[in-house]
Amino acid sequence: MFNKKIFKSKLFYNILIFISVFLLFPLLMSKIYKVLNSNPGSSYENKAVATTVKADEQRGIWFSYLEWAKFHNGKNEQEWTNTIDNEIIPNLKSLKINNIYVHAVAHSDSFYPSNLLPAAKEVVKEYGKDLTYDPFKVFLIKLKESNIKVHAWVNPLRGMRDENFSKIPDSKNYFTKSSFIKQNKSDYYMKDNVGMYWFNPGNPEVLEHIKRVTEEIIDKYPEIEGIHIDDYFYPSVLHENKALETDISYFQKTQPKEMDIHNWRRGNITALVKKMYDVCCSKNKIFGVSPIGNIGNNFNVMYFDTEEILRNGYLHYIIPQIFYGFENGTLSFVDCATKWKDLMLKYNKINFYVGLAAYKCGIEKDVWAGAAGAQEWKNHGDVLKRQIETLRNNGFSGFVFFSYESFFAPKPELAQKITEERNNFMPLLQ
């Protein structure tokens, strides 16, 4: 039996205190050090919940030409109005969306009646037909009635394939078609490795056309917040010389030989951004860009010079597409967000939001994520939740989901996981 006197002695308690301090103190200090030196949201194990939410936090979503095709698909005005009232608006409200980016121009065509562009096939079934009413206007009015801010989303450079150009009537004299059929088509267009044509932004006539389109949209729809463009600048295959037709001949014809073609292209994109920004400013509208998340690839592949554009203040906001998971072996969400945070602190007069990849929830394999992150979106149901927490902890002004379809018309095999993701992050939006 134990001697009770020993347990009651002062010596025993002193020894007990000494052992406790000796063993527990290093562990306690280790925990304190980790807390002080941690990067919030920097790992899957971090469960910290952001408690500070900006009063004007943006909770946005993209509504692309793919959604136009699925949810409009040639409906008449009353059918489209019913779809908006009974489906789209309730869905947006259920997700607490306060900003929406709606495609107005996707492939050198339009989702509104335009004097400059042919109607998009997603709303008239096939190129060559005219709109009988204004589906963009109907959508805009309904969204504004629901206090959802609307941004007209434009792809200024992306064009069509040959078979679609051929369907546009010559009689309309749209720049889209008239520039395509000119003898020196390569002065106006490039063609990528899948047969898609892209405008050449080095051509002043192209920039003037884009300016007129930007002005037309703002003049027709004064209710919009402004103009939004995404990451479709130069086709990504161009930097590897995989394009079927490129801008090299135009560059050689119009520029001094000592100029580097890569810097010329970057200058063209900066000029494009500035021209659209200037139009928006002149009409008291905002302008923003959603480039890819990888800053290096923006510079080297897409020819979007992030630092140059931010330094000159040619944007009111920027939405990097950080479409990576926490376990992505190529570029993790945290590593990418940290790089953008550095720019946010440096250029703090511009709003920084972040694009989030709702479309990846539940996918079988994230092919560019490496072995470590290949199945992250399949194995976890709280990726978006942790990403929102990370953004809040690091001072970003909000986030934008890609896309509407991902939440409200997902592929059957992804439906369960997107529901799980939504259930996990929705408490953060109350």
Q: What is the pLDDT of residue 133?
A: 98
How many other C-beta atoms can be found within 10 angstroms of the C-beta atom of residue 412?
6
Whether residue 166 lies inside any domain: the answer is yes
Query: Is the same domain home to 104 and 230?
Result: yes
Q: Which residue has the tokens 């204004």?
A: 134
pLDDT tens, residue by residue, 153-180 = 999 999 999 999 999 999 899 999 999 9
Please answer whether residues 293 and 324 qualify as being in contact, where contact means their C-beta atoms are separated by less than 8 angstroms.
yes
Whether residue 52 lies inside any domain: the answer is no
Query: Is the same domain home to 328 and 421?
Result: yes
Whether residue 44 lies inside any domain: the answer is no
- Share the mean pLDDT of the chain: 90
Query: Is the same domain home to 416 and 278?
Result: yes
Query: Is the same domain home to 32 and 138?
Result: no
- Does the pLDDT at position 427 exceed 50? yes
- Does the pLDDT at position 3 exceed 80? no
Query: Is the same domain home to 153 and 29?
Result: no
CATH number for the domain including 317?
3.20.20.80
Enumerate the β-bridge partners of residue 71.
Answer: none
Query: Is the same domain home to 25 and 143?
Result: no
Please answer whether residues 380 and 402 qualify as being in contact, where contact means their C-beta atoms are separated by less than 8 angstroms.
no
pLDDT tens, residue by residue, 124-153 = 999 999 999 999 999 999 999 999 999 999
**Structural tokens at position 38:** 């941690």
Please answer whether residues 68 and 120 qualify as being in contact, where contact means their C-beta atoms are separated by less than 8 angstroms.
yes
Instruction: Annotate 340-371 with DSSP letters as a single string.
Output: HHHHHHHSTTSEE-EEE-GGGTT-S--TTSHH
Whether residue 340 lies inside any domain: the answer is yes
Identify each DSSP E strand in 126-279 by its residue range.
149-154, 189-191, 197-199, 226-229
Domain that holds residue 360: 59-429
Whether residue 403 lies inside any domain: the answer is yes
What SS3 class is residue 397? Answer: coil
CA 139/CA 67 separation, integer angstroms: 13
Whether residue 7 lies inside any domain: the answer is yes
**Structural tokens at position 77:** 């005005």
Query: Is the same domain home to 99 and 187?
Result: yes
Confidence tier at 257 by pLDDT (50, 70, 90) = confident
Confidence tier at 430 by pLDDT (50, 70, 90) = confident
Whether residue 46 lies inside any domain: the answer is no
Please answer whether residues 111 and 64 qualify as being in contact, where contact means their C-beta atoms are separated by less than 8 angstroms.
no
First to last CA, the chain: 60
Number of domains composing the chain: 2
φ, ψ of residue 330 in degrees (nearest 5)? -90, -50
Q: What is the pLDDT of residue 16?
A: 42
CA 54/CA 50 separation, integer angstroms: 11
pTM for the whole structure: 0.89
Query: Is the same domain home to 301 and 406?
Result: yes
Q: What is the pLDDT of residue 42?
A: 37
The residue ranking higher by pLDDT, 269 or 34, is 269
- Does the pLDDT at position 2 exceed 70? no
Average pLDDT over residues 376-386: 98
- Tell me which of 17-21, 96-100, 168-172, 260-264 is least confident: 17-21
Query: Is the same domain home to 204 and 351?
Result: yes
CA 302/CA 231 separation, integer angstroms: 8
Query: Is the same domain home to 156 and 246?
Result: yes
pLDDT tens, residue by residue, 8-64 = 455 444 544 444 444 444 444 444 333 333 333 333 334 444 457 888 999 999 999
Closest CA to 305 of 338, 354, 267, 344: 267
Query: Is the same domain home to 291 and 363?
Result: yes
Query: Is the same domain home to 238 and 128?
Result: yes
Q: What is the pLDDT of residue 380?
A: 98
φ, ψ of residue 199 in degrees (nearest 5)? -65, 150
Instruction: Annotate 132-148 with DSSP letters as a single string.
Output: SS-HHHHHHHHHHHTT-
- Tell me which of 163-172, 254-263, 310-319, 398-407 is least confident: 254-263
